[in-house]
Chain A
Amino acid sequence: MSTPLSQALATLRRRYGDAVIQSGDTLSRTGSVWPTGLPTLDFRLTAGGLPLGRLSLLAASPPPGASGRLTLLQALSAAASRERTAVYLDLAGSLDPGFLADLGADLEALLVVRPPSGRWGEGLSMARSLVVAGAPWLAVALPPVAPGRDPGWEHRLTGLVEAVSARQAVCLVAAAAPVPPALGYAASLTLGCEAAGWQEAHGDVVGLRTRLTVLASKVGAPGEAATLLLRYPRPFATAHVVGWPAVVDLTAVVERAPSQIAAAAG
């Protein structure tokens, strides 16, 4: 027996094709995401990891203060470089390869892109060229200032999103507040980054607690939140050597007993 809903679905499929309507479980199937290796990020905030072929956004909370978005971006880039070729578009100009090495990055597999003019559009266009060539992982660090007099950067962003979708690449963008509307519109997953406090040990700052919130998602339900400890690595020794992961999952600890944070962080 046909219902109005089934008739409407049949009409839409007939007019626009079978791919226009899919059930939700097909979007989160294995293989369409890149697992970050952080259980909280993979299973609580996202459906298995960062989505392939889509743009994910790390949006900082409004200033002042740090949010941890760039540290998280670099930690994930370091993890990605250990298993695939990664591209880091450094529009913010803040990348320190030594810090990346401390995070355990394979610098041989990491291409750093810095447009000479520093313009967003030029950088996005360069990143698009590399994605079209087959780069499977792209990190974009945007500066805290707005693009300003760079007309057309939204158009380049559209080209980048199309390339990421066509090559099924992972694209993770870290942007400061306020997030440009075009960027928010293009992102399929927006994770809000908000500092939850410094992590100290023996009077020294050893990390930053960051609260991640799913602000918007086209691949899952928004609203989930979790706290991560972005542990600053010890200089001149990679995270592997030290034996500590760069990012510590604090959600379970926080839910049980806040006093255990220090113990978990060492």
Chain B
Amino acid sequence: MTPPPRVLCARYPHLALVAAWANHPELRHEPVVVGGAAELRLPVLAASAAAQAAGVRPGQPLREAQQRCPAAAFVAADEVAAARLRGALLDRLCRLAPIVEVGDEAAYCDLSGRHAAHPEESGWAVAVARSITGLLDDDGVAVGVASSRLVAGIAAGRAGSRRIRRIAPGEEAVFLAPLPLVSLAVDAGIAARLAALGLDCVGAVANLSSADLQRQFGPAGKDLWHRARGEDGVGEWPPVPRSGGPEGASPLMAGGAMGPPRRLGERLLLEGGVGDLEALRFAVHRCALELGERLRRQGRRAAVITLVCEFDQAQAEELRIAPLQPPGSGAELWPVALELLAGLRLPTPVTAVRLEIEGLQGQVGRQVDLWRRGDAAGEEISGAASRLRARFGSAAVRRAALAVDPGDLPERRFRWADPGAEAGAGGDAPARGTALRGRRQPAVPVMPALRR
């Protein structure tokens, strides 16, 4: 069973500032501006709390920072020391969590499942916080734990120094409801339009329907609706595991617990229901291109593709396929989605289409056999064979292989094999090239971001 996703966010002073403190311990409690001498025409990289209290902000010109805080000490950024700190921090956190993302001012850890040495989540979070504090030798570390990266980050920002703010699963919306919209980093134009309607807090926006926001603000409105509910942007978390282990599994995870599922989805609402196949084709095409663009940006491929058509009065129809060659772009995803659309039964007009991809994996290159003509097109041929198998059945396109122990009968000399069997399907993914038709199966774990 896959545990619910839990994300820890730790906020700490900028690593360049920590490195400056290490080089100049006498400046520990003084206003410090990192970026260079005040005469240089460079921006502020980081500023201590005292300097920020005087109005200095990262990104400001150094001259302006000097005007705002004349008493501040201006030091150059020691990038080597900062990189060394980042590496050490990454090394420490990787011993505590299976998936880690370290930045200059914040780090994220995957706390899903259970740690062998820290069975309780609170103890696990304390261990992570102590590890960071011990390395940075700083008291300004604030930690937040929640079910999504977004809420964990906000919780850490509101926790205060040396504090851990835990948001229980399911309490994200309650936690976010009274906060102002700026907490979600909403576009200023959208925030102004919402404020004009009296919608100035996260809870007010969360109560709106996704369709209304999407109609008014397009994809940004849909994204805002998800963020108001504490859901991450699709694909934001977890990152691709660095270890390359299956689904981010770690030896530290007790009981073989796994990381959160990797799944992306794109849903398009159709005004009033659409029964025209050409219009549905257009909608699915748009979903495929958007999903493919995300895949391309992340450099990943999808092992399983699911197309769901929703109806007003009937249960959603779903068709799933595990193509031989996992698509990694919109151009590769679109033919697969088209095959799925052709295989769906549409009894009534469709109110929404949803294209989901899961089993995300990194792009893996392949050495082409230079002596075999057409080998460079092997992926395309495998993909075409996969689509034919999905459409006409598994016996439509096959590859023969000689039997290891042939009998006397001619038909026992060989066995039929899947053309892409060597690609291998992992986990619970259906057999390669096979389409599974059926109703929505609630047993399949779904990321909160996809419960739309």
Verify B387–A129 contact, CB threshold 8 A: yes
A126 and B397 contact, Cβ closer than 8 Å, known pairs A85-B381, A101-B414, A111-B419: yes
B396: contacting residue among A84, A85, A113, CB under 8 A: A113
Instruction: Indicate whether A98 sits within 8 Å of B374 (C-beta atoms), given known contacts A112-B399, A130-B381.
Output: no
Residues of A near B395 (CB, < 8 A) are: 114, 116
For B380, list chain A residues within 8 Å (CB): 133-134
Is B399 a contact partner of A84 (Cβ separation < 8 A)? no
Query: What 1/0 flags go to A217-237 for Cβ under 8 Å of B?
Result: 000000000000000000110
Nearest Cβ on chain A to B212's Cβ, whole angstroms: 43
CB distance from B414 to the nearest CB of A (A): 4
Q: Which residue of B lies closest to A169 (CB)?
A: B374
Name the A residues within 8 Å of B218 (CB-CB). Answer: none
List, in ascending order, chain B residues with CB within 8 A of A235's CB.
410
Cβ of A132 within 8 Å of any chain B Cβ, yes or no, is yes
Do B392 and A85 have beta carbons less than 8 Å apart?
Answer: no
Partner of B410, one of A83, A96, A108, A112: A96
The yes or no answer to A104 lying at the interface (CB within 8 A) is no
Docked-complex contact B402 and A109, CB < 8 angstroms = no
Query: Shortest distance in angstroms between B410's beta carbon and chain A's nearest beta carbon?
Result: 6
- Identify which of residues 66-88 in chain A touch chain B, using a CB-to-CB cut-off of 8 Å: 83-85
Chain A proximity of B13: nearest CB distance (Å): 55
Give the contacting residue for A98; candidates B381, B385, B414; CB below 8 A: B414
Q: A134 near B413 (CB under 8 angstroms)?
A: no
Least CB distance, A174 to chain B, in whole angstroms: 19
Name A's interface SS. Answer: mixed
Q: How many angstroms between the C-alpha atoms of A109 and B422 in the bound complex? A: 13
Min distance, Cβ B397 to any Cβ of chain A, angstroms: 5
User: How many residues from A make CB contacts under 8 Å with B?
Assistant: 30
With A113-B388, A113-B396, A116-B393 already in contact, the answer to whether A135 and B402 are too (CB < 8 A) is no
Report the minimal beta-carbon distance from A35 to chain B, rounded to whole angstroms: 12
Say which residue of A83, A98, A113, A133 sits within 8 Å of B373 (CB atoms): A83
A134 to B381, Cβ gap below 8 A?
yes
A101 surroundings in chain B (CB, below 8 A)? 400, 402, 413-414
> In the complex, are the beta carbons of B400 and A97 less than 8 A apart?
yes
Alpha-carbon distance A123/B174, docked complex (angstroms):
59
The answer to whether B372 touches A109, judged by C-beta atoms less than 8 angstroms apart, is yes
CB proximity to A under 8 Å, residues B306-364: none
Contact present for A111 and B406 (CB under 8 Å): no
Nearest-CB distance from A120 to chain B (Å)? Answer: 14
Are the CB atoms of A98 and B397 closer together than 8 Å? no
Whether the pair B374, A135 counts as a contact (CB closer than 8 A) is yes
Q: Does B378 contact A (CB under 8 A)?
A: yes
Q: Is the CB of B414 within 8 A of A133?
A: no
Complex partner residue of B399 from A110, A133, A137, CB under 8 angstroms: A110
Instruction: Let me know if B401 is at the binding interface, CB within 8 A.
Output: yes
The answer, yes or no, to whether A136 is at the interface (CB within 8 Å) is yes
> Is A98 in contact with B396, judged by CB distance below 8 angstroms?
no
Minimal Cβ-Cβ distance residue in A for B385: A111
Q: Which residues on B sit within 8 Å (CB–CB) of A100?
A: 400
Which residues of chain A are within 8 angstroms of B402 by Cβ–Cβ distance?
Answer: 97-98, 101, 107
Bound-state Cα–Cα, A85 to B384, Å:
14
CB of B185 within 8 Å of the partner chain: no
Near B by CB (< 8 A), chain A positions 101-160 give: 101, 107-116, 122, 126, 129-130, 132-137
Near A by CB (< 8 A), chain B positions 424-452 give none
- Asked if A137 and B388 make an inter-chain contact with CB atoms under 8 angstroms apart, the answer reads no
**Taking A101-B413, A134-B381, A236-B406 as contacts, is the C-beta distance between A111 and B392 under 8 angstroms?**
no
A206 to B403, CA, bound (A): 25
Which B residues lie within 8 Å of A96 (CB)? 410
A112 touches B397 (CB 8 A): yes
Residues on the B chain within 8 Å of A137, using CB: 374
Find out whether the CB atom of A97 lies under 8 angstroms from the CB atom of B385. Answer: no
Q: How far does the alpha carbon of A129 sit from the alpha carbon of B388 in the complex, in Å?
A: 8
Whether B384 lies near A133 (C-beta < 8 A) is yes
B377 at the interface (CB under 8 A from A): yes
Q: Taking CB as reference atom, which chain A residue is nearest B380?
A: A133
Encode B399-422 as 1/0 by CB contact (under 8 A) with A.
111100010001001100001000
Q: Tell which of B377, B380, B400 has the most Cβ of chain A within 10 Å.
A: B400
Known A-B contacts A83-B372, A98-B414, A113-B388; the reply to A135 vs B398 at CB < 8 A is no
Least Cβ–Cβ distance between B337 and chain A, in angstroms:
16
Q: Cβ of A135 and Cβ of B377 under 8 Å apart?
A: yes
Closest to B392 in A: A116
Could you say which residues of chain A place their CB within 8 Å of the CB of B406?
98, 236
Q: How far is the CA of A114 from the CA of B385 in the complex (A)?
A: 12
| Chain B residues, CB < 8 A from A236 | 406, 413
With most chain B CB atoms within 10 A of its CB, the pick from A97, A110, A235, A236 is A97
* Residues of chain B within 8 A of A129, CB atoms compared: 384, 387-388
Q: Which of A108, A122, A136 contacts B374 (CB 8 A)?
A: A136
CB distance from A241 to the nearest CB of B (A): 13
Q: Which residues B164-180 have CB closer than 8 A to chain A?
A: none
Say yes or no: is B383 at the interface (Cβ < 8 Å to chain A).
yes
B375 interfacial contact with A, CB 8 Å: yes
State whether A84 and B374 are in contact (beta carbons under 8 Å apart), knowing that A112-B399, A126-B392 are contacts in the complex. yes
Kindly list chain A residues whose C-beta atoms are within 8 Å of the C-beta of B419. 111
B378 neighbours in A (Cβ, 8 Å): 85, 134
Nearest Cβ in chain A — how far from B341, in angstroms? 17
Q: How distant is the Cα of A15 from the Cα of B287 in the complex, in angstroms?
A: 45
A107 CA / B399 CA spacing, docked (Å): 7
Give the shortest distance, in Å, between A163 (CB) and chain B (any CB): 11
In the A-B complex, the 4 residue pairs with the smallest Cβ-Cβ separation, listed nearest first, are A134-B377, A97-B400, A133-B384, A98-B413
Some 12 contacts from A to B, beta carbons below 8 A apart, are: A83-B372, A96-B410, A97-B400, A98-B402, A101-B402, A107-B399, A107-B400, A111-B385, A116-B395, A116-B396, A130-B385, A133-B380
Known: A85-B375, A97-B413, A113-B396. 10 other contacts (CB 8 A): A83-B372, A84-B372, A85-B381, A111-B385, A111-B398, A112-B399, A132-B384, A133-B381, A134-B381, A136-B374
